[in-house]
Structure 1
Amino acid sequence: MQSEILIPLIIFSAIFGVSYVYLTTRNKERLALIEKGADASLFNTGKKKGFGSIVLNLALLAIGIGLGVLVGAMLEQSGMEEDVAYPASIFIFAGLGLVTSFFVNRKLDKEA
């Protein structure tokens, strides 16, 4: 009975603790750089992915999962076991969707 309350509490406190330490450490590093006279443009050097890129990744992943379910159903109808057909085809097509999104995003980054 105690584990029903204790396990979610431990999980959420661990997530909070890790994110708190990460954010405070990053803030301290940035303040130290600013005190030493570093330019603020240092913090903006990484490429930021836009909202469209994230939506494209999720859309192609969802398409891949949908195709995986469809192919899994077709494999099950053709005689393959359900326990094998669905997970295998879902993972294969989800992976193909993510690989496709990688190449599409790389092409879009080169154009921009």
Structure 2
Amino acid sequence: MDSTTVLVNLIIFSTLFGIIYMYLTSRNKERLALIEKGADATVFNTGKKFSFGEVILNIALLAIGIGCGVLVGAMLEQAGLASEVAFTSSIFIFGGLGLLVSIFVNRKLAN
């Protein structure tokens, strides 16, 4: 690896670390300020929590969509389309369809 690659990787990871660190520390300060003012602790539990099953279902349907995209991309490449276009477009299309299906499945399971 040359020095440019090392420098770019260092910048990327330090930026990600900085963003996550700032998010967590500002959230902690905000919560401490609310607690000091006497706010109820239920304020922190207002968001919808995802269950482990929902996350696994989303990942599984995304993986199925990507697999179908690779398969369709290979078929399009055999049909004469350029491989970069065939694989890239079909992976994104079928991956997005997999995520869209996971939204509807999760919504149906929630009811």
- TM-score for the superposition, normalised by structure 2: 0.89
Amino acid at match of 2:105: V
- Tell whether 2:79 aligns with 1:78: yes
How far apart are residue 11 of structure 1 and its match? Answer: 1.7
SS in 2 for 1:48: coil
Aligned equivalents of 1:99, 1:17: Cα separation in 2: 32
- The ranges of structure 1 where at least 4 consecutive aligned residues each deviate by more than 6 angstroms after the TM superposition are none
Aligned equivalents of 1:53, 1:92: Cα separation in 2: 22
**1:44-63 paired onto structure 2 within 5 Å:** 44-63=45-64
Please list every run of 5 or more consecutive structure 1 residues that lacks an aligned counterpart in the other structure.
none
Cα distance change of structure 1 residues 5 and 72 upon mapping to structure 2, 3 Å threshold: closer
Percent identity of equivalent pairs: 67
SS in 2 for 1:99: helix
- TM-score for the superposition, normalised by structure 1: 0.88
- Tell whether 2:67 aligns with 1:66: yes
Cα RMSD, aligned residues only:
1.4
Please list every run of 5 or more consecutive structure 2 residues that lacks an aligned counterpart in the other structure.
none
